[in-house]
């Protein structure tokens, strides 16, 4: 899986050894609660700290075995033809994850029914998603967060029987769908949208079909041993170049009018250092007295980003969260250059920047990039190429 010549080899090897050791200890636990808690911690470790392992048959089997040990009263529930249930762990007004579901439903044929269920809902008001669901005669369903693991799984199993197709957009560590649909008694097709191929995730054992966002996905075929897939890509937004005056937008947003503006966006974990890959150090090579880089999605009061802002003399600026429907697109239209998040790429965020006609760049990393971008000049193979192209665009 990992070449000893890879610069991350020592870091990943140490993490993998720890993961395997803890997993072996967990296998001997007899108490279900303790074993489940142990496995949930290991899943989170594998997802958010690269351990050089992308799937676990033992963990998958544990949750499908559990799925078959619990049951509902009735499986003879009729569904309407052309009905789809999209399952999200959590939806957000920021980021590309929820945008995918919005655009999927928006682009669906008028005669289809699309509903969305949130397993662990938050308080975000996703008005665009709600409107799209309403237009497709679906429902927006929220589970009570206080429900137990078993209660959520059985509720989801029964709910799924009312639809012809199940589509998973769940978080990588979410085991609820595996418990809900891991029994042979549940016969509706389960489609898994593979939005995190490069990471460890749970659910391949319940997926009748994995929907890929990359063609010839090495992470999926080799690291997860999944072959039954279908390429679907990322649902796009209508290309809509901004007609707003850039100077007026900058006045409105409080950005420097006569300076070069770089915008980047993503959740904080997309900018965490991976080994030696450091976003701030690379951006420092691009900015100067006349160039500012604004990052949407990272907290203003985060100690790391406060330090980055200080060391850059105020030229690398965290902006915090900005609602997608309340100003986010204005920031894109006001930019001279959009730079992808790094070291974890943004996927849908790049589509939004391109749709506004903004020059965009993405730097190759240990993470992967989608085909729509990796086959173009916007995709840079190394840091030198990235810095050179950024300077040419800005000047």
Does the pLDDT of residue 241 top 60, yes or no?
no
DSSP state of 106: H
Q: What is the pLDDT of residue 354?
A: 85
Q: What is the pLDDT of residue 349?
A: 81
Does the pLDDT of residue 243 top 50, yes or no?
yes
- 243-247 mean pLDDT: 79
Distances (CA, A) of 351 to 51, 90, 331, 332: 30, 22, 14, 11
From CA 24, how far away is CA 33, in angstroms rounded? 17
pTM above 0.85, yes or no: no
From CA 325, how far away is CA 323, in angstroms rounded? 5
What number of residues does the chain have?
A: 395
Q: What is the pLDDT of residue 234?
A: 64
Does the pLDDT of residue 221 top 90, yes or no?
no
Cα angle 102, 54, 84; round to 5: 30
Transcribe 68-79 into DSSP letters: HHS--S------
Q: What is the pLDDT of residue 214?
A: 73
Q: What is the pLDDT of residue 4?
A: 45
Residue 88 CB partners (closer than 8 Å, separation 6+): 97, 98, 101, 116, 117, 118, 119, 169, 170
Q: Where do the H-state alpha helices sit in 114-192?
A: 127-135, 149-160, 176-181
Q: What number of other Cβ atoms are within 10 A of residue 381's Cβ? A: 10
β-pair partners for 211: 193, 230
* The pair of three-digit structure tokens given for residue 204, joined into one six-digit string: 């391949």
Q: What is the pLDDT of residue 75?
A: 96
Residue 382 CB partners (closer than 8 Å, separation 6+): 364
Does the pLDDT of residue 371 top 80, yes or no?
no
Strands 291-296 and 316-320: parallel
Place of tokens 């994850």: 97
Residue 120 CB partners (closer than 8 Å, separation 6+): 89, 90, 143, 145
Instruction: Give φ, ψ of 116 to 5 degrees.
Output: -130, 135
């Amino acid at each position: 899986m990992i070449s000893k010549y890879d610069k991350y080899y020592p870091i990943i090897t140490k993490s993998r050894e720890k993961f395997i050791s803890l997993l072996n200890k967990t296998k001997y636990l007899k108490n279900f609660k303790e074993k489940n808690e142990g496995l949930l911690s290991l899943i989170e470790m594998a997802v958010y700290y690269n351990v050089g392992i992308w799937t676990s048959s033992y963990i998958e089997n544990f949750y499908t075995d559990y799925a078959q040990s619990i049951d509902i009263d009735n499986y003879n529930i009729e569904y309407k033809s052309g009905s789809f249930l999209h399952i999200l762990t959590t939806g957000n007004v920021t980021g590309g994850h929820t945008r995918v579901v919005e655009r999927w439903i928006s682009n669906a044929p008028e005669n289809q029914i699309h509903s969305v269920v949130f397993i662990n809902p938050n308080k975000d008001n996703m008005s665009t998603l709600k409107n799209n669901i309403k237009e497709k005669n679906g429902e927006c369903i929220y589970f009570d967060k206080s429900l137990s693991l078993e209660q959520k799984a059985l509720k989801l199993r029964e709910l799924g029987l009312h639809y012809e197709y199940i589509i998973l957009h769940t978080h990588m560590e979410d085991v609820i769908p595996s418990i809900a649909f891991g029994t042979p008694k549940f016969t509706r097709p389960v489609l898994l949208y593979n939005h995190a191929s490069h990471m460890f995730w749970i659910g391949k054992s319940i997926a009748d079909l994995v929907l890929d966002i990359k063609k010839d996905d090495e992470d999926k075929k080799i690291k997860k041993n999944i072959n039954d897939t279908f390429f679907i890509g990322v649902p796009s937004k209508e290309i809509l170049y901004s007609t707003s005056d850039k100077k007026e937008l900058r006045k409105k947003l409080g950005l420097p009018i006569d300076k070069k503006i770089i915008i980047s966006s993503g959740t904080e974990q997309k900018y965490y250092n991976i080994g030696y890959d450091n976003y701030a150090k690379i951006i420092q090579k691009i900015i100067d007295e006349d160039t500012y880089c604004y990052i949407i999605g990272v907290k203003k009061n985060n100690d790391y980003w406060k330090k980055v802002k200080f060391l850059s003399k105020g030229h690398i600026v965290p902006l915090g969260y900005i609602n997608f429907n309340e100003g986010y697109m204005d920031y894109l239209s006001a930019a001279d250059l959009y730079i992808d998040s790094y070291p974890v790429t943004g996927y849908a965020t790049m589509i939004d920047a391109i749709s506004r006609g903004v020059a965009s760049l993405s730097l190759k990393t240990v993470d992967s990039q989608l085909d729509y971008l990796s086959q173009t000049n916007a995709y840079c193979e190394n840091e030198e190429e990235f810095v050179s192209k950024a300077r040419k665009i800005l000047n």
